[in-house]
Structure 1
């Protein structure tokens, strides 16, 4: 959130795009819901890389909080990820 805030101050015309690749599990302290709320007005794409027989759906919930598109890693090829990012930039 801090990097995006600084970039907005540096260039207010810039439209940031946040691409998050995650399984949704917290690996650092802090409140992920608060961080998502701070970034809710930023165009975003969440790539859900959760795998295994037990899936918690945390990356999907993060994507919902961000208001961004959620894409499963299993459903992506390199060229389709680029397309998802391009489309998110157009919408932003």
Structure 2
């Protein structure tokens, strides 16, 4: 891990097209600005953990209509005639 010290208004460059700028420092928080190309995904790490957990749970759901109907029946969710 590279550790750098920056002051408000200073920035860090990653390759040629990603710039992280320190916008403000408030007690134990900092405010960052990130400039990057549209194809670069920027996500807070705690959100990525939540997304991975949700995806894992979704992958464990029934994969065919029969299994799904049975799971819904067990949960007490009835199918209406327009859905069948």
Q: TM (normalized to structure 1)? A: 0.24
Larger-gyration structure (1/2): 2
If the length of structure 2 is used for normalisation, what is the TM-score?
0.25
Judging by fraction of residues, say which structure has more helix: 1
